Structure formats: C-alpha cells, structure tokens
Amino acid sequence: MRTTNTRFNSKNQLQPADIRRYNWYIWRTVIALFAFVVIMITLTIFDVFGQLPSFRDLENPKSNQATEIISSDKQVLGTYYIQNRSNVTYRELSPNVINALVATEDKRFYDHSGIDFGRSFTIFAHLLIGQKQGGSTITQQLALNLFSERSANPFKRIIQKLQEWVTAVKLERHYTKEEILTMYLNTVDFGAYNTYGIKSAARTYFNTTPDKLTPDQAALLIGMVNGPGIYSPIRHPDNALKRRNLVLNRMVEQSFLSEGQAEEYKRKPLGLDFHQNNHFDGLAPYFRSVLKKEVQKIFKEQNINRPDGTPYDLDRDGLKIYTTIDATMQQYAEDAQRDYMKDLQAQFNDHWRGRNLYKSIHNFKFLLDQGMQKSDRYKQLKQQEKSDEEIQENFQTKTMLNLFTWHGNIDTMMRPIDSIIYSKMLLRNALMSMDPTTGYVKAWVGGTNFEHFKYDQVKNGTRQVGSTAKPFTYAVAIDNGYSPCMKINNVPDTIRGYGAPWCPRSSPSETLQGFITLRQALAHSQNWVTAHVMGEVKPEPVVELIKKMGITTNVPPYPSICLGTFDASVFEMTAAYSAFANHGLWTEPTYILRIEDKNGNVLYTHTPRVVQAMNPQTAYVMTYMLKGVIEDGTGSRLAYKYGLRNPIGGKTGTTQNNSDGWFIGITPQLVTGLWTGCEDRDIAFQSTRLGEGANSALPIFAMYMKKVYANAALGIKKNVDFDAPANGVSIILDCGAYNQQQQGTTDVDKKLGF
C-alpha cells in the first residue's frame, strides 16, 4: 500500500511554507532564550538571586589577608594569618608571571570586557549535563575568588555564573587590566601549606619574591591555579612537571617565549626551595609572639579600630607592622645561640651523666609532677575525665613522641614522664640587643626553640639577676663622688639596721686579698667590697636608681640587692645598662616603629619615653668601670679567647647554686643582654666553672658581636669609644694621680708646702 506525503516533492524537499514555519520556531526559541538570559541577568543585577558586591566591596574585597611583620632592613620577619596571604602591587610582579597567567587562563584577556562570549557560548549546556567547561575569564575567576565559593549544583552554578558575569563587568569598568591581574594573583589559592596569593606562593615554593620568578618558576605556580592539589610539586611532582611544561608551551603559542627558550626551561628540574609556612618558622618567632600581644594591647588601650568601629583582626586584616629588628643581626644572634648552646648542652649532659637526679636535685619529683600537670597531655587527659591512676599509667606507657634536640627534631618511642625529665634537663637561653641611643631593639631571641618551648624569656620571663646588679650600687657611689681608684680592704663587712645582720659569702678561690680598688672589685665581682659600698650608700638610693633605669619588678630596699637577689627580665636589664652607654639617659626599649593598615594608612606611631637616670659623668665613669671587667676581670675571656679587645664594657652574673648565668655587654652603639639557665632554678650546673655567666652566656655575646663587627654595612664600629661628658670629668680615673692626691703629694701640694 503506498501513501502520499503532500508536504514533500519527489526529492523530499521542504515546501516554502514549512521552511517559514520552522524558521519561526527557531527564532521563537532564540528570542525566548535571549529574553530568558536578559531576564535572568536583570534579576541578577537587582539581587533577586542574592546580593551582589557593591562598588565599595570591590574596592575592599573581604579576603583574609596576613599581617606582615617588617624588619628595619625591609625583610618580612613573618606573618600573622588565618590564610597566609600577603598582597603585592603590579610593579612587584615579574612579567613572567603575567605572561604565564594570560597564556594559560585567558589568552584574549586584553581584548574582552570581562566576559569572553566565544568561550562562554556553550557554558549552560555543559553545566546542565554536569560537564566542566573552562569558559571563565581571569576577571570572572577573580569575581569568584573574591566573593563566593564555587557551587557543585549545576543549576545553582548557572545562577552563580550570571553573578560572576555581572561582577566581572563591574570589575572591568572600575579597574585597569593591570589592577585586575594583580587582584587575581593576590587572591588565588595555591594549595596546601596555607599558601594564598602569588607572594606567599613564591616564598613557599622558591623562597623568593614575585618580581624574581623565572619563566619556569612562574609556569609551575600558574600551572597550579586550576588544580593546586593534583599539580602540587610536593605531593605530585610528575604532574607538576608536565603541567609546568604545558604552560611553557602556551607561552610559546602566545609569543611570550621562543621555542628554544621553552625547551631549555622544560629540561630544568622543578628547582624547589620549599619553606612550609607555619607560625613558628622564620626569624624571631618569640619576638613575633610578644609583638602580637603588644599590638593587640595598644589597639585596645588607644581605641584603634576599623573604620566601622570593630576591632582589627591581625590574622585577617593585612596590617603592616614596621619594627626595629634588624633581620641580619637577628640571624647572627640566633646563629650564635644555636652554635654555642649546642656545645653548652653537651657540657651539661656530660656533667650530669651517671648521677641520680632524684637524689642530686632538690625537689626533683615535685618538679616532675609540676611539669606533668602543666603539660598539654595532662590537660587533655583531664578533659577526657581520666582518673589520676589512669593519667599516671598513661605517662608511664611508651608512645611515639617528637623531641627537640640541637641536631634537629626527632621522633622516638619514650614514656611521656621521661620526656618531661628530658625537657627539664634542657638549658634555655635568651638574648636582647639594642641601640642605647635610640632604644631600638635590634635582635630578640626569647628561647631555644619556639615550636617546643613557647615561653618568651626576654620580656615575659624574670630570673634572679646576680652580680649584674652590682653596677647599680657602684653607680650610686660614683654619683656621691667615689673614685674607681678608691681602695677598700676586701674583708667581710656586716651590715645592720635592715632586719637580721647581713654579710655575704665569698668563695676563697675567687677572693682578692688585701686592699683593692672599686674598679678591681667590680671587675672581679667581689662580694665583700660591694657589700661595704652598699653599707656606705644605703639601699634606698640604689632602689631609686634601679627604678629610674626601668626595672619594674619588686626590688626591696635591703642590702642584699647589691648582689642581685631580686628578679628582672633580660628586656629590663639590657635597657638599664643602656643608660651607662648613653650619657645616663635611659631610653625605653622600642621595637614598634609604626603600624599601617592594608591601604598604607598609619594607625599607630611609637614615641619612646626617655629618663635622665644618672648624670653624664656617673654614666661615663661606669663605662670605665665596666671596661675593667673585660680588660682584667670575670669577662676577660672576651679578649683573650675571642679576640675582642676594642672598647667593650660588661658584667657577668652568676646566681646562687649556678641557677642563672648572665652577661650584659655594652659598646657605644650596641648593648646586649644574655641569660642562660634551666626552666627550674633547682636544676643547674653543680660546678661554678661551668655554670658561671662567663661560660654560659658570655660566649654567645662574643660570637654574636664578632659577626656584627665583621659586617661593615651594619655600621657597628670597633674603633669607637665611649664619649666623655661635654663638661668634662671631675672624678679622677688615673689611679696614680688619685693615690698622690690621697697622700697629699700633688705638685700643687708641694708648692704650697703642705
């Protein structure tokens, strides 16, 4: 049976009427789709699908931005962050980064106005069937990075794509292409290790800055943009290498590189210089920890807030804190500590090897119980409501622990209680170095390892100061007209009137016999002569001077303070000694210069306090006295062992039972204080030869200063001596002349016939 189709001729061609009808269907569909898109875009513009960012939001994107701590020599010491993101300007970007980004992500970037319709034409069809379509321009990706998270739902993703389009157009209207590229590179996520933005990525993977990135380095980083996990050079180096080479090929296609250049770069290995970001890596971690609390305190006390009145968040608001720390000197200080403390710990371990700690150390079991109760493990077990017996059993059971050693961290099987013993037997050390004239702190080493021992011993920790307190008593005597050449019989001298009679002890092997000068007494740290001077000048003026010199801890007006029986911090003691080197002026230690917000607006500028603690003559005479410690006293190994024979003054300090070893060194341009000891005062060297400040602290000062002097760029000169007061010195420093005067045999006396 044959049927006849009247709509087709013998060649099955459409009739004109059919063509017109089908064309109408197509046009209606196109018009409907166009109208639908227009309506959707209109609804998007009017925030029906969610509020779009305003122009003000575009000017101030709400991205977490790390606060940077900047040294006096323009180095980034570290950052405070939730996301380790630091912004750069366009001028700080290598052209290689820009070229790699444009060639890979958006080759028509300079030609479109935010949306590349050629790439985006089929985006909706791909999204509806669940396929990934690379239709986003750099500007659209920036919009997504700044204001939203990519949705996994294809229908929501369509709405999101429309929002990106509108936002991208806004971005293109209000920003230059260079600004858009810069914002994009500042907001992009480079994967794990808290790496956000090109500056952080360059530092993390290549230990460099964005302006120094080579084409192959830039290609590697840009290659990570769309797959920071799969293209991670740490976790998937093969993938990263292939991706890098693909980006280099794209750069050739866009004429940013020649084929020969690209082939040369493709033959290179990844060349990583990886530095994982964390809060304790980098220079001056103890300083940065103290600084953060200090800035938060300043902001609260001075009511420094965001423009909307809410408090600044140092982890998110991208502030810049300009400090006085010199990165080079900080490195020298940390190197000196590491190099010597490694040796000193070996001395300490040898000293205690084979001894029963429970019998040899006073209250040792109490110290262990105290250490256990302060530990994170103990607190966690308590939170789990474990009984005391269960906690004790836990601390007696071996487990894998990570321990600090001077040769690097180690993982080892150990009972937690043994790890506490190990920690208690580790020596700690702290150092601060400052300019005595400006008060600027140049180096700050608050402990031996911030990752394991976070307590700062420069400012937060106080320890008994020992003989480093003696210069305060001698300074009061000098202020009363005493000469460094005055001689006193070095015999016991009991002081009465301040409670029980008091007379210090003096080691027979270290006691100078007979009459000695005040300069000799200070140089050799003689207790009896110091006590005699205290008996003459009385404790109250000494306490008054100590307070003028910035010591804030409790210093009772008792004679024993002349031997340093009070506590103070390295921070305060170093600043106090700066008055000797600065004509009697005590200048408050300064470590913050100014704080700026992310737009460069100054939020805070520090103005240090200055106090005339003593008259310039007294300060100058004290520098002469303190130089005697180095020339022929307890600090003489600075000269004979370390070769530092230039004008340096200083004072060693060793407290009872060698619990604390101190050395404070002064030069006209730099004052540096050091302390060494264990966490608990009951644990120390049993030998004064090993535990004294001359052995436990002075060598670090020597190693630090030798490096400082060797670097002429720092401007710390060896051939500079302490300045005499402008009005001269009336106190006689020449002991020969002083003796003649005391004997009445000066030339004047002879002529007058006395």
The answer to whether residue 248 sits within a structural domain is yes
- How many domains does the chain contain in total? 1
Distance, in Å, from the CA atom of 593 to the CA atom of 613, rounded to the nearest integer, reads 24
Q: Is residue 117 scored above 70 in pLDDT?
A: no
Does 573 fall in a domain?
Answer: no
Is 304 within a domain?
no
Angle between helices 364-374 and 416-424 (to 10 degrees): 110
Pick from 515, 554, 556: nearest CA to 532: 515
Return all residues near 701 (Cβ < 8 A) that are at least 6 apart: 336, 431, 638, 650, 663, 665, 672, 674
| Predicted pLDDT of residue 434 | 98
* Ranges 186-195, 441-450, 665-674: which has the least confidence: 186-195
Distance between CA 347 and CA 193 in Å, rounded?
Answer: 38
User: Rounded distance, CA 568 to CA 460, Å?
Assistant: 10
pLDDT of residue 3 exceeding 50, the answer is no
Q: How far apart are CA 357 and CA 732, in angstroms?
A: 52
Domain membership flag for residue 601: no
State the pTM of this model.
Answer: 0.78
Strand runs labelled E in 462-609? 463-464, 487-489, 515-517, 567-568, 585-587, 592-596, 602-605
Residue 465 lies in a domain: no
Quick one: which of 76, 709, 671 has its CA closest to 432?
A: 671
Q: Where are the alpha helices (DSSP H) in 401-469?
A: 416-424
- Maximum pairwise Cα distance, the chain: 163
Nearest to 592 by CA among 283, 295, 279, 289: 295
Beta strands (DSSP E) in 362-408 are 399-403
- Report whether 185 contacts 139 (CB < 8 A): no
Element (H, E) at 294: helix 285-301
Angle of CA points 161, 163, 166, to nearest 5°: 110
Classify 185 as helix, strand or coil: helix
Structural domain boundaries enclosing 261? 85-267
pLDDT by residue (tens digit) across 422-447? 999 999 999 999 999 999 999 999 99
Tell me phi and psi for residue 605, to 5 degrees: -130, 135
Backbone angles phi, psi at 518, to 5 degrees: -60, -35
When mean pLDDT is compared across 106-110, 238-242, 293-297, 566-570, the lowest value belongs to 106-110
Q: Is the pLDDT of residue 747 over 70?
A: no
Place of tokens 């890098």: 244
Average pLDDT over residues 705-715: 97
Out of 110-114, 172-176, 227-231, 716-720, the most confident range is 716-720
Indicate the pLDDT class of residue 29, thresholds 50, 70 and 90. Answer: confident
Could you tell me the pLDDT band of residue 150, with boundaries at 50, 70 and 90? low
- 629: helix, strand or coil: helix
> Among 514-528, 533-547, 719-733, whose mean pLDDT is lowest?
719-733
pLDDT in tens, 615-668: 999 999 999 999 999 999 999 999 999 999 999 999 999 999 999 999 999 999
pLDDT at 645: 93
Q: Are 663 and 694 in contact (CB under 8 A)?
A: yes
Q: Which of 133-142, 146-155, 639-648, 704-713 is the least confident region? A: 146-155
Inside any domain, residue 295: no
Confidence (pLDDT) at 737: 87
Which residues touch 337 (CB under 8 Å, ≥6 apart)?
A: 429, 431, 445, 448, 700
Q: Is 52 helix (H, G, I), strand (E, B) or coil?
A: coil
Whole-angstrom distance, CA of residue 198 vs CA of residue 185: 5
Instruction: Among 191-200, 411-420, 544-553, name the one with the lowest average pLDDT.
Output: 191-200
For 415, counting Cβ atoms within 10 Å of its Cβ (0-12 exposed, 13-18 middle, 19+ buried), the class is middle
Phi, psi of 359 (to 5 degrees): -85, -30
Residues 268-277: tens digit of each pLDDT? 999 888 876 6
DSSP state of 228: T
C-beta of residue 320 within 8 angstroms of C-beta of residue 68 = yes
Q: Are 655 and 564 in contact (CB under 8 A)?
A: yes
SS3 assignment, position 553: coil
In a domain, 194, yes or no: yes
In order of 50, 61, 237, 316, the CA distances from 57 in angstroms are 15, 6, 38, 16
Cα separation, 287 vs 201, in Å, equals 24
Inform me whether the pLDDT recorded for 10 exceeds 50.
no
Beta bridge partners of 568: 463
Q: Say if CB 350 and CB 425 are below 8 A apart.
A: no
The more confidently predicted of residues 140 and 470 is: 470
- Tell whether 616 is covered by a domain: no
Q: What is the average pLDDT value for the chain, to the nearest integer? A: 86
Rounded distance, CA 239 to CA 236, Å? 5
Residue 129 has pLDDT above 60, yes or no: no
CA distance 360 to 197: 55
Q: Looking at 46-176, list the stretches that DSSP marks H as alpha helix, in order from N- to C-terminal side.
A: 55-59, 95-105, 117-120, 123-128, 138-147, 154-174
The confidence score (pLDDT) of residue 195 equals 79
- pLDDT at position 114 is 61
Pairing of strands 515-517, 76-80: unpaired
Q: Percent of the chain beyond pLDDT 70?
A: 84
| CA-based R_g, the chain, Å | 36
The answer on pLDDT for 130 being more than 60 is: no
Query: Which residues 6+ apart lie within 8 Å of 484 measured at CB?
Result: 478, 517, 518, 519, 621, 624, 625, 628, 731, 733, 735
Q: What span, in angstroms and rounded, lies between the C-alpha atoms of 406 and 346?
A: 10
Q: Is the separation of the CB atoms in 462 and 660 below 8 Å?
A: no
Cβ atoms of 271 and 427 within 8 Å: the answer is no
Read off the DSSP letter of residue 291.
H
Q: How many CB atoms lie within 10 A of CB 687?
A: 12
Distance CA 283, CA 721 (A): 31
417 within 8 A of 372, measured Cβ to Cβ: yes
Q: Around Cβ 616, how many Cβ atoms within 10 Å? A: 18
* CATH of residue 200: 1.10.3810.10
